[in-house]
Amino acid sequence: MERIWEHEVPLRRDLRRLSKRLYRLGFTPGTSGNLSVRLDSKFILATPTGVSKSMLSKEDMVIVDLDGKQYSGSRKVTSEIGMHLAVYNRRPDICAVVHSHPPIATGFACSGRSLDEPLCSEAVMSLGAVPLARYATTGTEEVAESLAEFIPDHEAILMANHGVVTYGKTLMDAFMKMETVEHFAQVNLIAHHLGSATPIQKDQLAALLDARSRYVMNAA
Ligand SMILES: [Zn+2]
């Protein structure tokens, strides 16, 4: 008989619920995008390949180990699981990963632009700088390699000509970071469109980062 983890059933529900929310936001057109969550230190529950995020059922989710080997599930795991494993294997503190293609943030990633300009205090507080990882062919080892240098110090990364990956302590945490990246991309675009984007000044930024280390990091 297949093993059942203590929190597996509610985590399957959370994956389905947040997949639908991502879809409704327009971040996962077609069958794109994928979400995963840790069951324990060795196993991951993830969304399958080839199903719209709007139509997933709890039973569609699959379980893989940290090498990407499928443990259970009647569907096949997402071909982008390597991106998720790159995060889990480098960050034992991270419990959930969300990957999607939100249009404005992806537009930045397709224009060779990171989101590391400190324009918006909320974004600095919740995300810090969002770097741009170099282009990598989807579904290959190149993806993990392109993300590797950013994973230790960031929890939101733009992927060149592709999309965005975010991660956190919980699925909701990773999901909210994804929402915030897109919101920040939108604000950034408008500020530059207006022609007078004004980044937070150095000393003000230092105070903000200090507050971030005290409040946000401790609250996590
Ligand atoms: Zn993708």
Gap from CA of 162 to ligand 1 centroid (Å): 6
Summarize pLDDT for 80-94 with one digit per residue, the tens: 999 999 999 999 999
Which residue, among 58, 49, 45, has the nearest Cα to 16 in the 3D structure?
58
Q: 97 by DSSP, 3-state: which?
A: strand
Summarize pLDDT for 3-61 with one digit per residue, the tens: 899 999 999 999 999 999 999 999 999 999 999 999 999 999 999 999 999 999 999 99
Gap from CA of 4 to ligand 1 centroid (Å): 29
Gap from CA of 177 to ligand 1 centroid (Å): 16
Query: Which of 80, 155, 179, 182 is labelled catalytic?
Result: 80
Q: In degrees, to the nearest 5, what angle opens at C-alpha 121 toward C-alphas 149 and 214?
A: 70
Q: How far apart are CA 53 and CA 28, in angstroms?
A: 7
The upper half-sphere exposure of residue 52, i.e. CA atoms within 13 Å in the direction of its Cβ, equals 9
3-state SS, one letter per residue, for 112-168: CCCECCCCCHHHHHHCCCECEECCCCCCCHHHHHHHHCCCCCCCEEEECCCEEEEEE
Which residue ranges make up each domain of the chain?
8-219
**pLDDT band (50, 70, 90) for residue 214:** confident
Summarize pLDDT for 153-178 with one digit per residue, the tens: 999 999 999 999 999 999 999 999 99
Residue type, 17: R
- Name the phi and psi angles at 165, rounded to 5: -125, 135
Summarize pLDDT for 193-202 with one digit per residue, the tens: 999 999 999 9
| Mean pLDDT confidence for 71-78 | 95
Q: 204 by DSSP, 3-state: which?
A: helix
Q: What is the CATH number of domain 8-219?
A: 3.40.225.10
Gap from CA of 83 to ligand 1 centroid (Å): 9
80 carries an active-site annotation? yes
